[in-house]
Copies of this chain bind each other. A is one copy, B any other.
Amino acid sequence: MGQARPDTRLKIQGAATVLFRRNGYSGTGLKRIATEAEAPFGSIYHFFPGGKQQLAEEVIRTSGAEYGQMVLALLDSVPDPVESVVHAFQAAADHLTATDYADACPIATVALEVAGTDEVLRVATAEVFAGWVGAGEQWFARWVSDQDAARSLAYSMIMILEGAFVLSRAARDPEPLRVAGRSMAELLRTAIDRAGRRPNR
């Protein structure tokens, strides 16, 4: 009676998002996804006729977009940009330790796995990253007038964050993420200083 209508399709996508993020693409079986989603196995192919690939593509695009928005919202929650960067990396570190080093980037593991083996999924990950770079570029452009510099900062923040996730998860230690935050703050400070001294590079 009035059960919350959990929506099988969403439950499957949600379980797949968690499992792909934590165990990767090859490391996650459809059977496990169905079990974790408390959904019948056949429902996967009912809602995702393209099978594992289609499910993964939707997971990549959806969770990628959500994660990008989450990070942007985090950056906007602190007024000073340099402090904001440090705060965002600290928040990532806190979340990582709070989830026992499970929840880092939602798509990085899959991105590395499929880069050379599945063209559809590779393009999906590339487009997610491109979206992040574009959004980050706009954010940094608020503090750095030179568009090229803003774009480089966006690239660098995403890259050092991804690398920090790799090292922090491997070592089960949040320290790499904190170091990454300080380095990124340093880069931003330098860019802002330079813009002040000689506008437009």
Contacts and interface: CB of A to CB of B under 8 A. Distances in A.
A116 B171 contact: no
A53 to B, nearest CB: 14
Interface residues of A, number: 47
A117 interface: yes
B130 A116 contact: no
A162 interface: yes
B101 A170 contact: no
Q: Which of A125, A183, A187: most chain B CB closer than 10 A?
A: A183
Contacts of A179: 152, 155-156, 159
A66 interface: no
Contacts of A75: none
A117 B116 CA distance: 23
Contact of A171 (B112, B117, B129, B156): B129
Interface in A97-123: 100-102, 108-109, 111-113, 115-117, 122
A22 interface: yes
A39 interface: no
Dominant secondary structure of chain A at its interface with chain B: helix
A166 B108 contact: yes
Interface in A1-35: 22-27
Interface in A120-158: 122, 125-126, 129-130, 152, 155-156, 158
A180 interface: yes
Given A129-B167, A155-B176, A162-B166, A24 B113 contact: yes
Contacts of A122: 170, 172
Interface of A: 22-27, 100-102, 108-109, 111-113, 115-117, 122, 125-126, 129-130, 152, 155-156, 158-167, 169-172, 176, 179-180, 182-183, 186-187, 190
